[in-house]
């Protein structure tokens, strides 16, 4: 079975999709058979009478994924609320075993897989017993945590890591995303060090805010190159594939 990570965040909208798409783009450029999936998407967009999971569209565009949307997403709902509620509002239900089987199949097929959660770690995918954290546990996947750069992020990040560790879910790394040029004040400068010290988890990179990047508009100017140069992406690559390095 290939290796993978569950990508979670300290909150919704922190940049999980941006980081996921870019990492898979970097890996694929290095010849790694990597893929990203979003098993449950709420806030899907209606286009031509179809529901489109926006995050998956962005992965395909940024990483050049050849897979169909249905291969990368299982459930999609219109309402932009927690998946358990979005499903209910559509008269549907997320079946935990279907989600787990969907992810396992993808994990078996590819060398390196990123599974994007929804919102943060405690978000219910189908109800109180099946959260994003439970999905990571079922799949035995370590986490990658995407966090904001500034004030408030120490607390959100340390709590997220503590919640995972209390449940026996390993955290492979933290990626800080969206640092605006010229806005690195004392908090932004101090956060990576104090967060790493308090969690015992490495901060694998600090990704700047890129004005040419928008998930909604499908634009990703300079994104893959920037992540390639700002994140220790090699640390996440399985050793067996022998494709690390910067050549
Ligand atoms: N480094 C960045 N530079 C510029 N814009 C960014 C960056 N990271 C994220 N964004 C923008 O911030 C918004 C939220 O990012 P994203 O969709 O990746 O978050 P998310 O954590 O995946 O959200 P969700 O919980 O809805 O899945 C999007 O509009 C995205 O384009
Ligand atoms: Mg997303």
Q: What is the pLDDT along the chain (247 residues), one digit of tens a residue?
A: 559 999 999 999 999 999 999 999 999 999 999 999 999 999 999 998 999 999 999 999 999 999 999 999 999 999 999 999 999 999 999 999 999 999 999 999 999 999 999 999 999 999 999 999 999 999 999 999 999 999 999 999 999 999 999 999 999 999 999 999 888 999 999 999 999 999 999 999 999 999 999 999 999 999 999 999 999 999 999 875 545 444 3
Residue ranges per domain, the chain? 3-237
Q: Has 180 been annotated as catalytic?
A: no
153 belongs to an annotated ligand binding site: no
pTM: 0.96
The pLDDT of residue 179: 97
The Å distance, Cα 219 to ligand 1 centre, comes to: 12
The pLDDT of residue 144: 98
The Å distance, Cα 242 to ligand 1 centre, comes to: 31
Instruction: Please give the number of the atom of ligand 1 that sits closest to the Cα of 223.
Output: 1
The Å distance, Cα 2 to ligand 1 centre, comes to: 27
Q: Would the CB of 141 count as within 6 Å of ligand 1?
A: no
Helices (H), 179-245: 186-199, 223-230
DSSP, collapsed to helix, strand or coil, labels residue 119 as strand
Instruction: Please give the number of the atom of ligand 1 that sits closest to the Cα of 207.
Output: 1
Q: Tell me the CB-side half-sphere exposure of residue 25, using CA atoms within 13 A.
A: 24
With 0-12 / 13-18 / 19 or more C-beta atoms within 10 angstroms meaning exposed / middle / buried, residue 96 is middle
List C-alpha distances in Å: 41 to 18, 51, 87, 141.
15, 10, 10, 19
List C-alpha distances in Å: 88 to 74, 79, 199.
16, 10, 36
The pLDDT of residue 62: 98
Q: Which CATH superfamily is domain 3-237 in?
A: P-loop containing nucleotide triphosphate hydrolases (3.40.50.300)
The candidate with the shortest Cα–Cα distance to 19, out of 179, 246, 162, is 179
């Amino acid at each position: 079975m290939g290796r993978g990570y569950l990508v979670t965040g300290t909150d919704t909208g922190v940049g999980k999709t941006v980081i996921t798409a870019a990492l898979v783009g970097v890996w694929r450029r290095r010849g790694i058979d990597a893929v990203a999936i979003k098993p449950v998407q709420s806030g899907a967009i209606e286009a031509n009478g179809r529901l489109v999971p926006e995050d998956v569209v962005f992965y395909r565009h940024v990483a050049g994924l050849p897979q169909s949307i249905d291969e990368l997403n299982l459930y999609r709902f219109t309402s932009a609320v927690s998946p358990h509620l979005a499903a209910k509002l559509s008269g549907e239900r997320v079946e935990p075993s279907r989600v787990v089987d969907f992810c396992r199949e993808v994990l078996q097929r590819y060398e390196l897989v990123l599974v994007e959660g929804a919102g943060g770690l405690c978000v219910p995918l189908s109800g109180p017993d099946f959260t994003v954290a439970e999905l990571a546990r079922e799949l035995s996947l370590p986490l990658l945590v995407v966090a904001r750069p500034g004030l408030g992020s120490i607390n959100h990040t340390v709590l997220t890591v503590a919640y995972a560790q209390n449940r026996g879910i390993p955290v492979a790394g933290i990626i800080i995303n969206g640092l605006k040029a010229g806005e690195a004040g004392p908090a932004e400068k101090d956060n990576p060090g104090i967060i790493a010290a308090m969690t015992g988890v490495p901060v694998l990179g600090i990704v700047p805010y890129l004005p040419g990047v928008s998930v909604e508009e499908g634009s990703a100017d300079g994104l893959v190159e920037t992540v390639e140069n700002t994140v220790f992406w090699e640390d996440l690559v399985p050793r067996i594939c022998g494709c690390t390095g910067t050549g």
